[in-house]
């Protein structure tokens, strides 16, 4: 029977830990506090930021969503970011992506000081991943969440052939580095990869971060129920239904385990953000 790798049991287990760590910090006079910068009112971004706030508050942290106007200029955006991130009563800060077109060429990752960069996008934090992670590092949330999910379900990357599809700075590339550090043999695929089907069929684990509705189907996998599939994609199909990169129903009978969308990697990303916030607060002690 194929195992569904749901985030819910991981979250409920981790929530207890987050609560107790937050209590310990509060006992030392620190309430983990996060600022979320939301530019404009892109509906998915509004939902994501609200969910992140609710989750942060659920374990005892503080989270403020700072709304900036959709039409804000580059200079004003930079200025606002500087003012917000200079405050020393915060432990974490991130900018909800995507940004409106006039801001898209700004390298947001380097505008948030590395010690409060709970998204893990600052070059100093990425460099730590390149070198091999330390316990104290702030790691990009989605790859970190995938590692947490794998650990919970006893999926050991060591010695495995892992195909990561997608080479973005926020998912694919850090994911490949983190898995390499965990002794996996990683093949990083993208839109120019030839014979993607063959790469996928050879893999022990496939992680897809492409952003195309039900792009990966049963043609891409062996039909021997031995492969683990992790779906990062968040897409909306032509009926308005939320779905991943993987054709879940088509793949289900053929694989060992698979993450659902929703209820999989997306929820893990929010958990990682919370873990990074607590880490950032502890790092400040």
Q: With binding defined as CB under 6 A, does residue 67 bind ligand NDP?
A: no
Active-site residue flag, 119? yes
- From the candidates 35, 117, 119, 227, which is the catalytic residue? 119
Strands 242-243 and 235-236: what pairing? Answer: antiparallel
Contact region for ligand NDP (CB under 6 A) — 78-86, 130-138, 150-158, 230-238? 230-238
Give residue 2's region: left, alpha or beta (phi > 0; psi -120 to 50): beta
Q: With binding defined as CB under 6 A, does residue 191 bind ligand NDP?
A: yes
Task: Select 52 or 128, whichever has its Cβ closest to ligand NDP.
Answer: 52
Contact region for ligand NDP (CB under 6 A) — 20-28, 88-96, 119-127, 165-173? 165-173
- From the candidates 3, 26, 28, 52, which is the catalytic residue? 52
Task: Select 80 or 193, whichever has its Cβ closest to ligand NDP.
Answer: 193
Active-site residue flag, 96? yes
Task: Select 25 or 103, whichever has its Cβ closest to ligand NDP.
Answer: 103
Q: From residue 235 to residue 254, what is the string marking binding to ligand NDP with x (rule CB under 6 A)? A: x-------------------
Say if CB 278 and CB 21 are below 8 A apart: yes
**Rounded Cα gap, residues 170 and 233, in angstroms:** 13
Give the one residue of 14, 49, 125, 142 binding ligand NDP; rule: CB under 6 A.
142
Buried b / exposed e over 199-215, threshold 16 CB at 10 Å, is: bbbebbbbbbbbeebbb
Give the shortest CB-118-to-ligand NDP separation in angstroms.
14
Say if CB 243 and CB 261 are below 8 A apart: yes
Q: What would the two tokens of residue 224 be?
A: 């021997």
Give the one residue of 189, 221, 255, 273 binding ligand NDP; rule: CB under 6 A.
189
Strands 257-258 and 92-95: what pairing? Answer: unpaired
Say if CB 255 and CB 231 are below 8 A apart: no
Q: With binding defined as CB under 6 A, does residue 275 bind ligand NDP?
A: no
Contact region for ligand NDP (CB under 6 A) — 105-113, 150-158, 163-171, 197-205? 163-171
**Rounded Cα gap, residues 28 and 165, in angstroms:** 43
Q: What would the two tokens of residue 90 be?
A: 């915060």
Cis (ω within 30 of 0) for the bond into 201? no
Q: With binding defined as CB under 6 A, does residue 120 bind ligand NDP?
A: no
Cβ contacts of 200 within 8 Å, gap of 6 or more = 163, 165, 206, 216, 220, 221
Active-site residue flag, 19? no
Q: With binding defined as CB under 6 A, does residue 170 bind ligand NDP?
A: yes
Say if CB 206 and CB 200 are below 8 A apart: yes
Contact residues for ligand NDP, defined by CB under 6 A:
142, 165-168, 170-172, 189-193, 196, 209-212, 232-235, 265-266, 269
Catalytic residue IDs: 52, 96, 119
């Amino acid at each position: 029977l194929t195992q569904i790798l749901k985030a819910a049991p991981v979250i409920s287990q981790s929530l207890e830990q987050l609560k107790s760590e937050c209590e310990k910090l509060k006992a030392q006079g620190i309430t983990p506090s996060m600022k979320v910068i939301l530019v404009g009112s892109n509906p998915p971004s509004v939902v994501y930021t609200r969910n992140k706030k609710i989750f942060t508050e659920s374990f005892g942290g503080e989270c403020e969503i700072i709304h900036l106007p959709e039409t804000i200029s580059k200079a004003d955006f930079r200025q606002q970011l500087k003012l917000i991130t200079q405050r020393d009563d915060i432990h974490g800060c991130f900018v909800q992506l995507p940004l409106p077109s006039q801001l898209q060429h700004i390298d947001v990752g380097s505008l948030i000081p590395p010690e409060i960069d709970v998204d893990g996008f600052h070059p100093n934090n990425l460099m730590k991943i390149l070198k091999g992670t330390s316990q104290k590092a702030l790691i990009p949330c989605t790859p970190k969440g995938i590692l947490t999910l794998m650990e919970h379900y006893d999926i050991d990357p060591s010695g495995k052939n892992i195909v990561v599809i997608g080479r973005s700075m926020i998912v694919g590339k850090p994911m490949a580095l983190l898995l390499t550090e965990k002794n996996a043999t990683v093949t990083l695929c993208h839109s120019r990869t030839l014979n993607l089907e063959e790469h996928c069929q050879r893999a022990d684990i496939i992680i897809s971060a492409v952003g195309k509705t039900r792009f990966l189907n049963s043609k891409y996998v062996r039909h021997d129920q031995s492969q683990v599939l992790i779906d990062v994609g968040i897409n909306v199909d032509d009926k308005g239904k939320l779905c991943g990169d993987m054709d879940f129903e088509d793949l289900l009978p053929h694989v060992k385990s698979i993450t659902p969308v929703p209820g999989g990697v997306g929820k893990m990303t929010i958990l990682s953000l919370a873990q990074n916030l607590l880490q950032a607060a502890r790092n400040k002690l």
